[in-house]
């Protein structure tokens, strides 16, 4: 991905409270955060898992024939499937960059979601 400063947003959605927006997003700007958490779906989200810490259907394994990380594996960083929800910190006056396809706010949140 190019550096975020090289991207010019085509527009944005305002997530005002407990609602979900879907699309091709590259940045999330938190204006007000009531709950300190938001839920996103997207690619390139990695999670540190303990040995055998996967349920076998939520993470990718580049060394597997099926592409999915099995329930038995070594500890390490593994990428989540882009269809799996991930909870991220929702901190006022912060911006999160990445590849997102869904963003869900909580009651009292005010979030700008910029699409490509």
Check whether residue 27 and residue 61 sit in a common domain.
no
Which tens digit of pLDDT belongs to each residue from 47-56?
A: 898 988 888 8
Residue 7: pLDDT over 70: no
Per-residue pLDDT tens for 44-78? 999 898 988 888 889 988 787 778 888 888 888 98
Task: Examine the domain organization and report whether 88 and 37 are in the same domain.
Answer: yes
Angle, vertex CA 92, rays to CA 108 and CA 111, nearest 5 = 55
| CATH code (residue 95) | 2.60.120
Note down the domain range covering 111: 1-44+82-116
Judgement on whether residues 39 and 86 belong to the same structural domain of the protein: yes
Work out how many domains the chain is built from and give that number. Answer: 2
- 2/40 same-domain check: yes
Compute the chain's Rg from CA coordinates: 15
67 with 114, same domain: the answer is no
């Amino acid at each position: 991905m190019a550096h975020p400063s090289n991207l010019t947003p085509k527009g944005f959605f305002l997530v005002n409270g407990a609602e979900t927006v879907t699309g091709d997003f590259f940045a999330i700007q938190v204006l007000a955060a009531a709950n300190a958490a938001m839920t996103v779906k997207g690619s390139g989200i990695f999670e540190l898992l303990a040995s055998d810490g996967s349920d076998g259907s939520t993470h990718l394994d580049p060394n597997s024939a099926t592409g999915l990380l099995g329930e038995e594996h070594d500890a390490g960083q593994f990428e989540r499937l882009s269809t799996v929800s991930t909870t991220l910190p929702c901190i006022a006056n912060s911006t999160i960059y990445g590849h997102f396809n869904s963003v869900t706010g909580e009651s009292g949140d005010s979030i700008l979601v910029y699409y490509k």
